[in-house]
């Protein structure tokens, strides 16, 4: 979600972002990327934070973790001051420790004019999603304006994420889904997941009636014939503050991560990450105690702690969660956060570090 959005205008393989492959952990230890077990004081598993050097300012990071020594990439919400608000691109060659800004996914001459016509007033493009299928990378993104659900989700494709590859280039594939003021949902914050049969699904949603999912089809990555949205999660009390859906698959379960409450208020943000799980992509998703996420369920995984204010806008790749938060130490700068995901003895994800658990 871009900075300044207060109330629902908003807006996350080893190679596929949508399929998280994590090492099994016991109730007392987590095996991290470096192979070292991390025990906690309480005996519960804890996530391992990946320190990010420098002030990496991003909103809504879409993470793609490379295999082996291959680079990592983060695509994020665009800045209207650069290339007409195109999606931003960053690369890391040291497993997330430092990041190089590579510019934007497209230039001003290649802006999606169809999106600007569909949503008058668009100044930047929000909450991208990266997903690889059969040698093609799919870049989904949203076009909207603050406080409105007149929104569209667009798609571009490229054979590679490497901008130095001669085949690199994002081809505009047009509209994927849209919402109008008469609809009870908001078509932003796309997230892609494949089910056990290889069928792709796109999650989306922000405020209004909450989170939706719609069936797609390969190879075009567009909606399947006759597809229509199905509701997955909602907040019952106005302003129905839930958005940024992202599904992670683990051990036969689908885990729906959502961002709840207020984003983009700097150090006044109340954003947090919550979760429910289901055996099916289309739900129902429930909490540990069985509360349906459509009935305001959601177990909190990550929230404000110390200078990390309002974490959310999440994605995952290769066992690593990416999110943004507002750094109180710098006055509220939106900043990239990375941490490995742990799994507890009951198969639920854990995002808190040992220090955060100690309180």
Per annotation, catalytic residue among 189, 243, 261, 303: 243
Taking a C-beta distance cutoff of 8 angstroms, is the pair 144, 151 a contact?
yes
Taking a C-beta distance cutoff of 8 angstroms, is the pair 205, 214 a contact?
no
Per annotation, catalytic residue among 60, 132, 249, 327: 60
Cα–chain-centroid distance for residue 346?
24
Counting beta carbons within 10 angstroms of the beta carbon of residue 282, is it exposed (0 to 12), middle (13 to 18) or buried (19 or more)?
A: middle
60 is an active site residue: yes
Distances, alpha carbon 206 to alpha carbons 132, 149, 179, 305, in Å: 24, 9, 11, 24
- Closest C-alpha among 310, 309, 322, 324 to residue 271: 310
Counting beta carbons within 10 angstroms of the beta carbon of residue 118, is it exposed (0 to 12), middle (13 to 18) or buried (19 or more)?
A: middle
Taking a C-beta distance cutoff of 8 angstroms, is the pair 178, 187 a contact?
yes
289 is an active site residue: no
- 134-91-175 Cα angle (round to 5): 50
User: 214-217 — which CB contacts under 8 Å span 24+ positions?
Assistant: 214/177, 216/176, 216/192
The set of catalytic residues is: 60, 243
């Amino acid at each position: 979600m871009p900075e300044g959005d207060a109330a629902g205008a908003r807006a996350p393989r080893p190679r596929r972002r949508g399929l998280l492959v994590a090492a099994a952990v016991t109730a007392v230890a987590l095996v991290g990327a470096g192979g070292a077990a991390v025990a906690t004081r309480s005996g519960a598993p804890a996530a391992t934070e990946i320190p990010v050097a420098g002030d990496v300012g991003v909103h809504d990071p879409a993470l793609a973790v490379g295999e082996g020594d291959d680079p990592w990439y983060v695509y994020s919400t665009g800045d209207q001051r650069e290339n007409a608000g195109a999606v931003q691109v960053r690369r890391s060659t040291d497993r997330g420790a430092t990041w190089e800004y590579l510019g934007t996914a497209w230039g001003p001459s290649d802006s999606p004019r169809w999106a600007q016509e569909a949503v008058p007033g668009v100044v930047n493009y929000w909450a991208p999603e990266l997903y690889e299928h059969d040698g093609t990378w799919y870049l989904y993104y949203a076009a909207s304006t603050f406080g409105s659900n007149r929104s569209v989700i667009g798609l571009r494709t490229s054979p590679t994420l490497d901008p130095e590859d001669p085949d690199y280039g994002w081809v505009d594939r047009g509209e994927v889904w849209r919402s109008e003021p008469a609809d009870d949902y908001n078509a932003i914050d796309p997230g892609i997941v494949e089910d056990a049969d290889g069928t792709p699904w796109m999650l989306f949603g922000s405020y209004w009636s909450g989170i939706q999912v719609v069936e797609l089809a390969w190879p075009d990555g567009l909606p399947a014939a006759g597809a229509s949205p199905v509701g997955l999660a909602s907040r019952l009390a106005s302003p129905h503050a839930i958005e940024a859906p992202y599904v992670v698959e683990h051990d036969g379960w689908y885990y729906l991560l959502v961002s709840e409450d207020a984003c983009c208020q700097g150090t006044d943000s109340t954003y947090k990450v919550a979760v429910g799980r289901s055996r099916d992509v289309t739900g129902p998703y429930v909490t540990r105690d069985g509360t349906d996420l459509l009935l305001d369920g959601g177990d909190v995984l990550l929230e404000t702690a110390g200078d990390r204010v309002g974490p959310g806008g999440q994605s995952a790749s290769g066992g690593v969660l990416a999110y943004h938060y507002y750094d109180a130490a710098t006055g509220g700068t939106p900043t990239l956060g990375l941490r490995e995901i742990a799994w507890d003895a009951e198969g639920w994800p854990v995002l808190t570090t040992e220090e955060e658990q100690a309180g």
